[in-house]
Amino acid sequence: MDIAKPLSDSLVNWFYRELNNGLLKPGDSLPSERELCEQFGVSRTVVREALSYLKKEGVIDTGQGKKTTVAENTHARSFKVGDFPARDEETFQEIIDFLIFFESGAAKIAASKRDSTDLKKIQQALLGMELAIAKGELADHEDYLFHRSIVEATHNGYFIDLNEHLDHSVRKLIRQARLNTSKYSHDLVNEVFSEHAEIFENIKRGNCDGAALAAENHLRQAAKRMNVYLNA
């Protein structure tokens, strides 16, 4: 099953390509809304949606009656992971390898630094996931909240900031993984929940190595489930 990408994604991806290739620099003006509409063959609504997202990301500056420009400190905040889901298996594996490193590291630190408030947030996300599954829902939002709560439990600003940069892309990956899993069997859905529960239990017990291993196992299993989608 494939998901039609929002038209605004093409503009967002264009912006980051231009930025990463040095064709856009801090202070540069972007084309007008009308010019972007013509360039990408989309409506003004789509253009404004893309610009709104980029403004929220802090990489462009806009103002009433002013040109839209690349924010001055954009290079410090322009790290992005490529589009999800990746159709190229080699690229997909590189993304998974990166996420394993990031998520297992976050889980390991969270297991040693979490407090009662952190545990409550992670558990609430887990219970929300269980309830959504019981209702036959996708539970992708609850899945996202679960992983974000773990990152926040590291109390490490660098992990938290990097997670914010990954936000847009990881949401897509989680949704696609959930859609892919739900196509096959309810047993797979329950298996995914059990993987999350294992991560939580290790963090709750303060088992750093166990939390890291559980997070790594979850992502490796997710990669296997996603590869079914890639090869479909």
Give the closest residue to 68 by CA, choosing from 28, 37, 40: 28
Note the pLDDT tens digit of each residue in 151-193. Answer: 999 999 989 888 877 766 665 666 666 666 666 566 778 888 9
pLDDT at site 232? 45
Same domain, 57 and 115: no
Which pLDDT does position 224 carry in this prediction? 81
Please check the confidence at residue 83 and state whether its pLDDT lies above 70: no
pLDDT digits (tens, 9 = 90+) for 90-108: 777 788 888 899 999 999 9
Domain extent at residue 59: 8-77
* Cα separation values, 225 from 37, 77, 192, Å: 38, 31, 10
Where would I find the beta strands (DSSP E) of 68-187?
69-70
Asked if residue 146 and residue 40 are part of one domain, the reply reads: no
What span, in angstroms and rounded, lies between the C-alpha atoms of 21 and 16?
A: 8
Tokens 């297991």, residue located: 111
For the chain, the average pLDDT equals: 83
36 and 104 belong to one structural domain: no
Domain annotation covers residue 17: yes
Q: Is residue 121 part of a domain?
A: yes
User: Is the residue at 220 inside a domain?
Assistant: yes
Do 96 and 44 have their domain in common?
no
**First CA to last CA across the chain, in angstroms?**
8
d(CA 20, CA 18): 6
Q: Crossing angle for the helix pair 89-113 and 140-152, nearest 10 degrees?
A: 50
- Residue 60 bridge partners (DSSP): 70
Residues 160 and 214 in one domain: yes
Task: Tell me: do 18 and 97 sit in the same domain.
Answer: no
Q: Are residues 35 and 110 in the same domain?
A: no
164/60: higher pLDDT: 60
The string of pLDDT tens digits covering residues 105-144 is 999 999 999 999 999 999 999 999 999 989 988 788 898 8
**Which of the listed residues 31, 51, 77 is the one where a domain comes to its end?**
77
- Specify if 84 maps to a domain: no
Is the CB of residue 175 less than 8 Å from the CB of residue 147? no
Query: Does 73 share its domain with 142?
Result: no
Residue 157 maps to a domain: yes
Higher-confidence residue of 27 and 80: namely: 27
pLDDT tens digits for range 16-26: 888 877 888 88
pLDDT at 2: 39
Please check whether residues 179 and 104 belong to one and the same domain: yes
36 and 136 share a domain? no
What local confidence, expressed as pLDDT, does residue 141 receive? 83
Predicted local confidence at residue 229, as pLDDT: 47
Q: What total number of domains does the chain contain? A: 2
> According to the model, what pLDDT value does residue 149 have?
96
CATH number at residue 57: 1.10.10.10
Do both 70 and 102 map to the same domain? no
User: Is the distance from CB of 59 to CB of 70 less than 8 angstroms?
Assistant: yes
Is 50 exceeded by the pLDDT of residue 62?
Answer: yes
